[in-house]
Amino acid sequence: MASVDDVKKLAALARIGVGEAELEKFAKEFDGILAYVGQLDALSVDTKERVLPAVRNVMREDGEPHAPGAYTEALAKQFPEREGNYLSVKQIISHD
């Protein structure tokens, strides 16, 4: 079952901030939800041999590219911060 620490760890992995009050609430709710979906535990279905799903992605060949720049402005308009046609982000590797 889920403890407050578990929820904290999951939130960090999922890049989501969860406040103290919310942590307690989620932990309590997760107990109920995991107890419900956990009923599969009692089921003996063979999971060792993985069944190939009936629906799956099929890749197509690349081809017929659109004209360069045709969508650049429309996409760049959505950027929170831009420099010309570049998306501007924080520096990740520092020099010092």
Partner 1 sequence: MTKALNELTIAEAARALRAKECTVRELWDACVSESKKRNGELNAYLELFEADDVAIEAAQKRIDEGDTSMLCGIPLAMKDNILIEGHIASASSKMLANYVATYDATITKKLKEAGALFLGRTNMDEFALGGSTENSAYGVTKNPHDLTRVAGGTSGGSATAVAAHMAIAGLGTDTGGSLRNPASYCGLIGLKPTYGAVSRSGLIAAVSSFDQAGPLTKTVADAKALFDVIRGKDLMDSTSIDTVAIPEKVQRIGVLASLMKGIAGTPVEIQFNKTIDYLRSRGMEIVEVTIPSVSPALAAYYIINFAEVSTNMARFDGIRYGMAVRGKTLLEDYVQSRTEGFGQETKRRILLGTYVLSAGYIDAYYRKANSVRELLRAEYAKAFEAVDVIATPTMPTPAFTIGAKADPVSLYLEDVFTVMANLTGTPAISIPMESIVENGKELPAGIQFSAPHGGEERLFNIGALVRGEKM
Residues 27-66 touching partner 1, rule: CB under 8 A, are 29-30, 32-34, 36-41, 43, 45-47, 50-51, 53-60
Q: Is 82 helix (H, G, I), strand (E, B) or coil?
A: strand
CA gap 39, 33 in Å, rounded: 10
The reply to whether 95 sits near partner 1 by the rule CB under 8 A is no
Whole-number minimum distance, CB 83 to partner 1, in Å? 14
DSSP state of 92: -
- Round to whole Å and give the CA distance between 50 and 86: 44
Angle of the 20-37 helix axis to the 4-13 helix axis, nearest 10: 100
The footprint of partner 1 (CB under 8 A) covers 2, 6-7, 10-11, 13-18, 26, 29-30, 32-34, 36-41, 43, 45-47, 50-51, 53-60, 71, 74-75, 77-81, 87, 89-90, 92
